[in-house]
Structure 1
Amino acid sequence: MLDDTDRRILRHFQADPELGTAELAERAGVTQATCWRRLERLAARGILKGQQAVIDWQALGYAVEVSLRITLDKTVTRAFDDFLAGAREIPEVLEIQTFLGRVDLRLSVIARDMPHYQQLYRSRILTLPHIADIEALMHVARIKSDEVLPV
């Protein structure tokens, strides 16, 4: 699927996504035109999905992160769809994951402090439809947060 040149370009691009095409090409050992064509091809194939700004939410005053493990009432036909539609509307929900097993979903939620989390939990989270069970896991420390792939 990927050849050595693609992998080399991706490794350098992941290490420093702010590199210009000329610098990336130099580090990857290819011409600028080759690098540009390869990046375009990787994007067209859906391997490169784009670039994004990463904002440190803690620097913006959000000090609390909670992982909520949620089990839905699966006797309701549209339980997943209804729940997801509501959860997507809560700005403090940073991530929604679905699972197979006892737990159906996990929400990653941020708040400014514990009173803000408590208000958010009571007024927004607990009002989401079809919750059968919910477990809150308070985030203590992030040990590894790396999206760099071994290419």
Structure 2
Amino acid sequence: MTQSLIDETDRRILRHLVRDARQPVAGLARTLGLNESAVRRRIDRLTKTGVIKRFTVDIDYEKADNPIIVLMGVNAGRMPGPKVAKALQDIDNIVEIYTVTGEFDLIIKIVCRDIPCFEEIIEQIRDQGFIEKTRSFVVLNKIRDGHYDDIIKVSR
């Protein structure tokens, strides 16, 4: 059995960082009842081991003039999913790419300001030449946002 990279204290730190990665370490340490240098060392270790991949901004695409969000299933026939993903990653409005199991090779997330923009993205995808099939799902409402508090809960 392999040992976990994180313990309960790490999980507590991660829960707070997921909510606000910009909070000062001193404030986080106070909130958690821990020593500031210990919290800093733990954050450094979590970053070096890849548990924390990056500190980032969560954009509200609608407020950033990109109100159209589309999830698209992509089939590329015989070309492996990772190669297709590499070919698609330079298309500006594609913000996420996943290789998946099931009906499609990939699921991609596209954000656009309007339908003509989305049509341009579809053309760029088709221009790749190896795409066999796509299916688009326009997002009507986001029901739950991607905050991972419940995944990082302290084990009891």
TM range, smaller chain: 0.7 to 0.9
TM-score, with length taken from structure 1? 0.85
1:150 maps to which residue?
Answer: 152
Equivalent residue in structure 2 for 1:6, among 10, 18, 21 = 10
C-alpha contact 2:82 2:99 (8 A) present in aligned 1: no
* Amino acid aligned to 2:129: P
C-alpha contact 2:97 2:106 (8 A) present in aligned 1: yes
1:103-142 aligned within 5 A: 103-121=104-122, 123-142=123-142
Q: Give the unaligned 5+ runs of structure 1.
A: none
Q: Measure how far apart 1:147 and its partner are.
A: 2.9
Q: Give the unaligned 5+ runs of structure 2.
A: none
Distance 2:47 2:107 in 1: 30
Shift of the 59–128 alpha-carbon distance from structure 1 to 2, 3 Å rule, reads same
Q: Measure how far apart 1:54 and its partner are.
A: 2.4
Q: Measure how far apart 1:79 and its partner are.
A: 5.0
Distance 1:21 1:130 in 2: 48
Q: Measure how far apart 1:145 and its partner are.
A: 1.4
TM-score, with length taken from structure 2? 0.82
Shift of the 4–111 alpha-carbon distance from structure 1 to 2, 3 Å rule, reads closer
C-alpha contact 1:62 1:111 (8 A) present in aligned 2: yes
Distance 1:81 1:31 in 2: 43
C-alpha contact 1:68 1:135 (8 A) present in aligned 2: yes
Q: Measure how far apart 1:82 and its partner are.
A: 4.9
CA RMSD between the two structures: 1.9
May I ask how many residue pairs the two structures share in their alignment? 147
Q: Measure how far apart 1:144 and its partner are.
A: 0.7
Q: Which structure 1 residue ranges, 4+ long, deviate > 3 Å from structure 2? A: 78-82
1:63-82 aligned within 5 A: 63-74=67-78, 78=79, 80=81, 82=83
C-alpha contact 1:83 1:129 (8 A) present in aligned 2: no
1:83 maps to which residue?
Answer: 84
